[in-house]
Structures are given as C-alpha cells and as structure tokens.
Amino acid sequence: MKKIIILLGIPGSGKGTQAMRLVDHYGYEHISTGDLLRGLQGKKDLDEELQQAVDTMLEGKMVKDDVVYRLGFDAIRDALDAGKGVVLDGVVRNNAQAERYHTFFQELGVADDVQVIEIALDDDESFDRLKARIASGYQSRPDDTEDILRERIKVQGNAALEPIKAFYTTHDLLAVVDGRQSMDAVHDAIVQILA
Ligand code: AMP
C-alpha cells in the first residue's frame, strides 16, 4: 500500500471529497494547500509572503510555488515522521511543483511510495458543478463567486493539468479515474487502484 497519494483534478472534480473518503478509509493525513492557505486567512502577524499568498488565493489565482513548498513540505514531513500516510489534495498544481515534490520524495527516500491519481472531468462540467455549488450555498468558500470561478477554471482547468499528467506518465505513476461517476463509484475505483 502506497504511503503517498497525490490526487489530481481540476476544481469541482470531487478531489476534496475523495481525499476525505480516503483519509477515512486508510487513516491517512489529509494535506490540502488550499486548506492550509484558508487557515491563514485573517490571521494577524503573517509575514509578507504568506499575506500575499492569502490575497492571491482569494483572487482565485495560483500562489507562488515557494509558498506551496513552505506549507506542503512541513505538513508532509510531520505526517510521515508520525508514521502516517498522506493524501495530497491540490498540492501539486503545475509542472515545477510536480518536479520539486518528486525530488522532495526522493530526498526523503519515499519516491517508491507515491501513487498519483487523476479524477478526470472536463472544464464545462467543472463550471456547471461549481456554479451549482454556489447556488446551493453548499460547501461555499470565500473564493466561490462566478467570476472567480471562471478565473480558477481558466488557470486550473485541463490545459493546466496536461503537463503535470505528462510528467507523471513519464514516471509511470499516473492512474486515471472517471470523475463523472457517482462519489461512491469514484471512491471504489481509487481503492482498487491502491489495492
Ligand atoms: P483549493 O482549495 O485546492 O481549490 O485551493 C484554493 C486556492 O489555493 C487555489 O485557487 C490557489 O489560489 C491556492 N492553491 C492551493 N494549492 C495550490 C498550489 N499547489 N499551487 C498554487 N496555488 C495553490
């Protein structure tokens, strides 16, 4: 059983929900850079780099890679040191991050423990799902408005995911699950990949 599960998926793909299901199933730690950033929102005495990252997050844009590493590396190291596996949710969002995390795992000696799973969904479906989420007020977040949503899909849609997938395909680490299925079916498919 792999200790490091990297979930890939565009916004609205159900990545966060599936991450929580995996955490329940395997007792792994859920690490989401989005959650870590939202956790910083409103905090006083943030340094400039972190404050800027929170502002960028609220605009629906990608935060700088260095901040992602700053938040992600510590959280991952802490969990692995405590003997826990990790589910990484939205932690890898561009090619540079994919490469840097790959090196990070090699440095930690856990590169063989990585499984990457994409929950595949097309951009239009993502937009419809997220719009419905706003309309229902369900799981609404400070960065959930229709304009921000368009920006997030433009910046974080399938075009952005392609080079990351290419990287992981080259390293033979990528498995793909159809994200249009029910939540249960997606979960079952992921568990089967990890078995
Ligand atoms: P999420 O909750 O995963 O949708 O992330 C919310 C926001 O946090 C994103 O829209 C980005 O602004 C920022 N963010 C989270 N993870 C990353 C990452 N790995 N790289 C760059 N920005 C990120």
- Indicate the top mutation candidate among 17, 58, 63 to test ligand 1's pocket, ranked by most ligand atoms within 8 A of CB: 63
**What average pLDDT score do residues 34-63 get?**
93
Does residue 58 contact residue 142 with C-beta atoms inside 8 Å? yes
Q: Which atom of ligand 1 is nearest to the CA of 15?
A: 3
Domains of the chain: 4-194 (3.40.50.300)
Distance 63 CA to ligand 1 centre (A): 7
16 marked ligand binding residue: yes
Residue 149: the pLDDT is 85
Per-residue model confidence (pLDDT) at position 148: 83
* Mean pLDDT over the full length of the chain: 93
DSSP 111: G
Residue in the block written with tokens 């950033």: 37
Centroid of ligand 1 to alpha carbon of 34 (angstroms): 5
pLDDT tens, position by position, 172-195: 999 999 999 999 999 999 999 999
- The predicted-structure confidence for 80-99, as pLDDT tens digits, reads as follows 999 999 999 999 999 999 99
Q: Which whole number is the average pLDDT over 45-59? A: 95
Give the mean model confidence (pLDDT) for residues 9-17. Answer: 93
The confidence score (pLDDT) of residue 143 equals 67
Percent of the chain whose predicted confidence (pLDDT) is above 90: 83
* Sheet order of strands, 86-89 included: 29-32, 86-89, 4-8, 114-120, 174-178
* Prediction pTM value: 0.91
Neighbours of 141 (CB within 10 A): 12
User: Which pLDDT score is estimated for 179?
Assistant: 97
Give me the helices (H) in 27-157, please: 33-40, 48-58, 65-81, 95-108, 123-136, 146-156
Which one, of 51, 53, 76, lies nearest residue 65 by Cα? Answer: 53
Q: pLDDT tens digits, residue range 101-140?
A: 999 999 999 999 999 999 999 999 999 998 888 878 766 6
- Looking at residue 145, what is its pLDDT? 78
